[in-house]
Amino acid sequence: MTPVAEFVLTREEIVGYAQALPAAPQVLGGLCELLEDVNTDLEQIGDEIRRDPALAARVIRLGNSVAFGGGGGVSSIDGAVNRVGFAEIVRLVGVATVSGLVDRSLVAYGVEAERLRESLLLHALASEALAARAGLDSRAAYAAGLLRGIGMMVLDRASRGRVAYDPSAFASFSHWEETCFNLRAAAVTTVVLDEWRFPAETVAALEQHLEPSDSPLAYVLNLAGAVVSAAGLAPAGERSWWVPTEEKLAGAGLDDEQFAAAAAAAGVAFERQRQALY
């Protein structure tokens, strides 16, 4: 299929496609915001999750999974929240979010649904581990890593099968997106998360994470991509962006040893949780 020369989406169209996605990532954002308040209790967390009944059902199912220490017996949101506690609740909701959010392969990008789910989950876990070592908000980094693919999902739906990425003609997804849509998926993601009232710092980091410049969180997200690429889970059109360098480590406030430790920790968590995606 030949790329179209002009394929312009308005902000309203972008938001409309995002609202049609089969999950509500806004709950994850609201949860991260709640957890910033030391006075938040488990009941408030449960109420936030119950905002999306489909997500709540997945959280209950996952609360019974081996990946989150389950062995059956959880039949309510409160039960799931109490089982995993504050430390794991964002991860539990994150897996529930991405397993519902990615409901189909991205035909325009040539990325299978299974690969995209795993790629986003590892990106989230690596972002979380790197941010913790860099002294940044690890929950915000996790959410950003998990939701960075929303722009691709929106553009895939908008294309309706009329265009497809050709790796022999374009060095990366970004160059192809600019040709077909006159904007990058990262920009689409920032439009959506801004509309959903995600923190400005998170939105700004996602806007520049492919080519980070002045945001430590953006550097963390880029380095997390390097962890995903090293694991063989990065789509071909993104691999050129995920090259760890001394400049990127410095921008994130990390050294080689911290990067290696974060990658290892993310890998362990990923192997434990990946089965819960299915």
Token output for 73: 């017996």
Distance CA 192, CA 264 (A): 31
The model's confidence at residue 275, banded by pLDDT at 50, 70 and 90, is confident
Whole-prediction pTM: 0.92
- Any idea what the CATH number is for the domain that residue 122 is in? 1.10.3210.10
Pick the closest to residue 128 from 114, 147, 154, 112 (CA basis). 147
Domains: count for the chain = 2
- Of 95 and 72, the one with more pLDDT: 95
Residues 138, 266, single domain; the answer is yes
The range of the structural domain enclosing residue 177 comes to: 1-21+106-278
Least confident of 44-53, 219-228, 265-274: 44-53
Residues 82, 174, single domain; the answer is no
Q: What is the pLDDT of residues 82-131, one digit of tens each?
A: 888 877 888 898 999 998 889 899 999 999 999 999 999 999 999 999 99
Give percent of the chain above pLDDT 70. 96
Mean pLDDT score, 184-190: 96
Mean pLDDT score, 70-81: 83
Residues 263, 135, single domain; the answer is yes
Mean pLDDT score, 152-171: 93
Residues 277, 189, single domain; the answer is yes
